[in-house]
Amino acid sequence: MTGYDDRDGKIWMDGKLIEWRDANVHILTHGLHYASSVFEGERVYGGKIFLSRKHSERLHKSGELMDMPIPYTVDEIEAAKAEVVAANGLTDAYVRVVAWRGSGEDMGVSAARNPVRMAVVAWSWGNYYGDAKMKGAKLDIAKWKRPSPETIPTAAKAAGLYMICTMSKHAAEAKGCSDALFMDYRGYVAEATGANIFFVKDGEVHTPLPDAILNGLTRQTVIKMLEEKGIKVHVRHIMPEELADFEQCWLTGSAAEVTPVGQIGEHTFEVGDIARDISESYEKLVRA
């Protein structure tokens, strides 16, 4: 596979489609130096982006939380995404929308005079965790913790929040794991590096309260699906010592979709009926 900077195709950038290889920014782009960037990751199924408008609305919210107003309306973002998917001839793909503070008059921490730029990219992307989607992912436990909402806008899907995710995933992969599980700043079970987490005990589902993590759109979708199936869902703080008592586990995210988990640290889980059923039901929903 060639690098992501060296491909054929079209990218929507600042209001128009351009050649993939021409989608560049200046070295003094503020987002590169100070992480002034927000983004969305979305999946295309059968030519249709799942929960597309909700993603565009969340991008706007992330920009507000980062004091970085997005210069395009939700409708304009929707049109740009559709244009990119069509221009690249894609029917099943991943879409990345990213907005950032570009280069301009400011090059210190303050960047109010620099323009907010935006791009939309789409490419074919298979299972985020590879064959773990069938047999169950193996997770390390990260040494880092998700930060307090008093230190950073945790409700924003912001690039800076992913720094410790990259570091933790590298450490996990070096141990032969697919991903890493974070605790939050209080010590509660939080999330994986790019996905929310669910557990099963005695036929009921437990998932962390999203008061210090991103309340993922896939997470919200799966909770609704479980409730419609008559399965009790407990949204609460989960202590790490509870991992030993759970029977099943899975991750959710736009990229991860619904991926069963077979192991977290020393704790093992079966890829059981509820995990398999919700994974299959999600697959049917996104292609409906």
Catalytic residues: 157
Alpha carbon distance 94, 43 (integer Å): 5
Q: What share of the chain is helix, strand, coil (3-state, %, to 5)?
A: 30, 30, 40
Pairing of strands 179-184, 137-146: parallel
- C-alpha dihedral sign at 281, 214, 137, 269: negative
Ordered DSSP codes for 187-236: S-EEEESSSEEEEEETTEEEEE--SSS---HHHHHHHHHHHHTT--EEEE
Backbone angles phi, psi at 253, to 5 degrees: 180, 160
Those residues whose C-beta lies under 8 Å from the C-beta of residue 131, and which sit 6 or more positions away, are none
Those residues whose C-beta lies under 8 Å from the C-beta of residue 79, and which sit 6 or more positions away, are none
The answer to whether 267 and 243 have CB atoms below 8 angstroms apart is: yes
Alpha carbon distance 26, 207 (integer Å): 42
* Helix or strand run (H / E) with residue 282: helix 273-286
Q: By C-alpha distance, which of 223, 228, 183, 187 is closest to 205?
A: 223
Helix, strand or coil for residue 256?
A: coil
